[in-house]
Structure 1
């Protein structure tokens, strides 16, 4: 909850409250808010402060912080430190797109170090099926908020003010509860507030549940709003099908259909 409050406070320009929330969470052993603040610092170009925040979150074994530090060391061509951090991130429970990213990075590092067999193992793991994407565990959010009903009530309060992050989480909560119509309604409201990941998260959840038609429809809605990662994930996993192979190779046309060959 404090991580979400940190993000909301930062989005509305209240940096003092954002930092207070982040450090309160860290005092309770939760590095999520520090990661949220670090990501905001990266977006504004304050890399030094972001790295400091990531390191504090990494000291709490936060997997996303360990991943971010791995990327920082990799950019600096410090392969040994980067590899250690990627492995720590995976051991700490990294999941979703972050897990795929870490596995691909480890594959590249192993290849550069002449460990071809290990590199191939990491590549196979990175390509193994659709990943499950979540902002963070809903059960964790609900537990920290005093239960499911209390969590929904808290997020409804922010959603009433048009907060896209709260609307996105409510979409996921409704999906988990089996209310697919309500979930999509919240995802549409989140999109109106500029947050497309409500569609993305629902798309991945529906794909994991075997509803590929609904999944593709939601992923295309997200893509229309400028966020294509769910659609690309669907394309990657279904790359043996002709249409998805075209999407990966040539992208999408303006009407959302696979583009014709252009090279």
Structure 2
């Protein structure tokens, strides 16, 4: 006869029971896991209820998850509210998600403001993303400005893209690495 340690074996039902026990003791990651299980099972209402419980216990990732659910359902205002709640609770990645929402809604100025706030807190990825979107839309000047801002926040990859934009614009001197201002910190985009 084999002996099993706590939580070993017993299949999915046993694991769900253990997650439920952990959730009942305040573990927000267990609640988020259970919400994912409910979502995969097609129980959207149950998934949202569990994610809301985690959010009510202070878990900002649960708020971001709920915002994504609202966004997929077409509830942009509800998504924005939840992203703002997560940002207000200190999750600066939510600022990036909120900036993308603003950009998609056509609010370029609002998107840039939020992206700069995220960058000031260490997340330059959204400045980079907005620069790419602007460049693809044909707004090279807007792309250049955002790449510069990301580079000024230490994003080395944005600096490389900035050089590419300058080169495409025919500014060979501005595209040279030696003439570009070096970033002030050491973060970078993925």
The TM-score, its normalising length taken from structure 1, stands at: 0.39
Larger radius of gyration: 2
Asked whether the 8 Å contact 1:70–1:85 carries over to 2, the reply is yes
Are 1:79 and 2:76 counterparts?
A: yes
What's the CA shift string for 1:119-144, capped at 9, x where partnerless? 2111223445766xxxxxxxxxxxxx
Q: Cα–Cα, structure 1 residues 47 and 127, in superposed 2: closer, same or farther, change >3 Å?
A: farther
Task: Provide the C-alpha distance between the structure 1 equivalents of 2:117 and 2:10, rounded to a whole number of angstroms.
Answer: 40
Partner residue, 2:102: 110
3-state DSSP of counterpart to 2:113: helix
Q: Cα–Cα, structure 1 residues 104 and 46, in superposed 2: closer, same or farther, change >3 Å?
A: same
Q: Cα–Cα, structure 1 residues 129 and 64, in superposed 2: closer, same or farther, change >3 Å?
A: closer
State how 1:231-242 maps to structure 2 within 5 Å: 237-240=155-158, 242=160
3-state DSSP of counterpart to 1:83: helix
Task: Provide the C-alpha distance between the structure 2 equivalents of 1:62 and 1:38, rounded to a whole number of angstroms.
Answer: 13
- Gaps spanning 5+ residues in structure 2: where? 1-6, 124-153, 165-190
Aligned residue pairs, count? 127
Partner residue, 1:38: 35
Q: How well do the aligned residues superpose, as a CA RMSD in angstroms?
A: 3.5
Q: Cα–Cα, structure 1 residues 108 and 22, in superposed 2: closer, same or farther, change >3 Å?
A: same
Higher relative contact order (CA 8 A, sep 6+): 2
The TM-score, its normalising length taken from structure 2, stands at: 0.51
3-state DSSP of counterpart to 2:157: coil
Per the TM alignment, residue 79 of structure 1 is displaced from its structure 2 partner at its CA by 1.2
Task: Provide the C-alpha distance between the structure 1 equivalents of 2:47 and 2:22, rounded to a whole number of angstroms.
Answer: 17
What's the CA shift string for 1:44-94, capped at 9, x where partnerless? 453524333212222323211111010010111211111111111223343
